[in-house]
């Protein structure tokens, strides 16, 4: 009997230790999760403040030159969909900044870093050189995509002698090329009727690259190239199947083909 009681006491002590260890682990996990959430909040606030600063700098001192810009600044046009309904062309990027304050932007990696055996990692700037009497004159090209993840999407291409001006040119051209992309749920395997995918199959072609976008059921994800994922995410498309043909390593043509395919969604509906 004494041995059994001792064994029970030992088991109770072991259980207490296990409970204490589990409680300590839970406390540590909760603290780590709280720290991660705080870091995420700080990053989001930093990104928001940076976007707000960029928007403020672009809008401060903006004197609109076009009739559309004057109407937007005067408050006569309060929604960007009104511009698309009237088939008006956006010639000033500040119009988009004024009407869509939460617009996001991203760069597409169309270039490649220099190095041995053809270069290394992908990078957003594509460098070219021009032969002159004075020597080689380098130039940098950049491609940017902007969107609000609610169907508004734009793709732009900029070229300059330095990287920062080419990025600014690409973003401003992407804003002036802003379009509304029709979303939907066109997959036969899904009946949610939510705008998470595309309504029907579309194709786009640029150079030797041809891309085919197909609707996918909810939860599939973006089954497509990483650079095209950036474009689809900016448009608010979460699920899609794809098939590509041609020289898909040329990301410049691949991004243009993807954009041409998406433009067909709004034209055919």
Residue 18 domain flag? no
Residue 184 CA to residue 127 CA, distance in Å, equals: 38
The CATH number of the domain where 253 resides is what? 3.30.230.10
Residue 223 domain flag? yes
Structural domains of the chain, count: 3
Residue 264 domain flag? yes
Residues 41, 131 share a domain: no
Residue 96 domain flag? yes
* Composition of the chain by helix, strand, coil, percent to 5: 45, 20, 30
Residue 34 domain flag? yes
Domain around 40: 30-60
pLDDT of residue 269: 43
Residue 19 domain flag? no
Residue 218 CA to residue 239 CA, distance in Å, equals: 6
Residues 214, 143 share a domain: no
pLDDT of residue 139: 94
Per the confidence metrics, is the pTM higher than 0.85?
no
* Under 8 Å between Cβ of 168 and 255: no
Last residue of a domain, one of 180, 215, 232: 180
The CATH number of the domain where 163 resides is what? 3.30.160.20
Residue 142 domain flag? yes
Ordered per-residue pLDDT tens for the chain, 269 residues: 566 677 777 777 777 778 777 887 888 888 888 888 877 777 766 666 666 777 777 777 788 999 999 999 998 999 999 999 998 999 999 999 999 988 999 999 998 877 666 566 888 999 899 999 989 999 999 999 999 999 999 999 999 999 999 999 999 999 999 999 999 998 888 888 899 999 999 999 999 999 999 999 999 999 999 999 999 999 999 999 999 999 999 999 999 999 999 999 986 44
Q: With the CA atoms of 145, 253, 81 and 56 taken in that order, what torsion angle do they form, in degrees rounded to the nearest 10?
A: 20
Residue 74 domain flag? no
């Amino acid at each position: 009997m004494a041995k059994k009681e001792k064994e029970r006491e030992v088991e109770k002590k072991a259980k207490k230790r296990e409970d204490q260890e589990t409680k300590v682990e839970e406390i540590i996990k909760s603290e780590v999760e709280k720290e991660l959430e705080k870091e995420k909040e700080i990053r989001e606030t930093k990104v928001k403040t940076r976007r707000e600063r960029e928007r403020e700098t672009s809008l401060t001192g903006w004197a609109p030159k076009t009739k559309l810009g004057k109407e937007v600044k005067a408050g006569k046009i309060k929604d960007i969909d009104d511009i698309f309904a009237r088939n008006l062309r956006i010639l000033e990027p500040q119009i988009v900044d004024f009407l869509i304050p939460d617009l996001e932007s991203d760069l597409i990696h169309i270039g490649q870093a220099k190095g041995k055996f053809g270069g290394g990692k992908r990078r957003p700037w594509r460098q070219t050189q021009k032969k002159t009497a004075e020597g080689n004159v380098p130039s940098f090209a950049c491609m940017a995509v902007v969107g609000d993840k609610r169907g508004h999407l734009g793709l732009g291409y900029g070229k300059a002698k330095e990287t920062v001006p080419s990025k600014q040119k690409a973003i401003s051209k992407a804003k002036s090329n802003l379009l509304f992309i029709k979303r939907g749920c066109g997959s036969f395997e899904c009946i949610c009727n939510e705008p998470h995918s595309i309504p029907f199959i579309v194709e786009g072609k640029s150079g030797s690259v041809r891309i085919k976008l197909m609707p996918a059921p909810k939860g599939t994800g973006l089954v497509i190239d990483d650079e095209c994922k950036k474009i689809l995410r900016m448009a608010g498309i979460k699920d899609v199947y794809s098939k590509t043909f041609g020289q898909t390593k040329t990301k410049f043509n691949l991004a243009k083909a993807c954009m041409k395919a998406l433009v067909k969604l709004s034209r055919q509906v």
